[in-house]
Amino acid sequence: MINGSLDFQLRTSAKAAVNSRIPVEAEAEDLDGTTIHVLLHVIDGFARELEVYKNDSSRVIQMPEPPARRLFSPP
């Protein structure tokens, strides 16, 4: 698996009420112990992108299972 992003094309006019471009982030450790980050980008009230990267910019070896992911809202 590589680092990168997934762009969304939504078919709705309902906007999300968010306070920042990245309202939620998840993180967990890859098999090599390096932290993987997953960020949801919301632009003009619409989910536009899911970004995935590792702290050391290496490739993601294996995405952790959902129970291993820590969710939080960035400041």
Contacts of residues 8-14 at CB distance under 8 Å and 24 or more positions apart, as own/partner, are 8/46, 8/47, 8/48, 8/49, 8/50, 10/46, 10/47, 12/46
pTM above 0.85, yes or no: no
pLDDT digits (tens, 9 = 90+) for 51-70: 999 999 999 999 999 999 99
Query: 3, 57 in Cβ contact below 8 A?
Result: yes
Is a pLDDT exceeding 80 seen at residue 1?
no
Which residues, including other chains, have CB under 8 Å from residue 3's CB and lie 6 or more apart? 52, 53, 54, 57, 59, 60
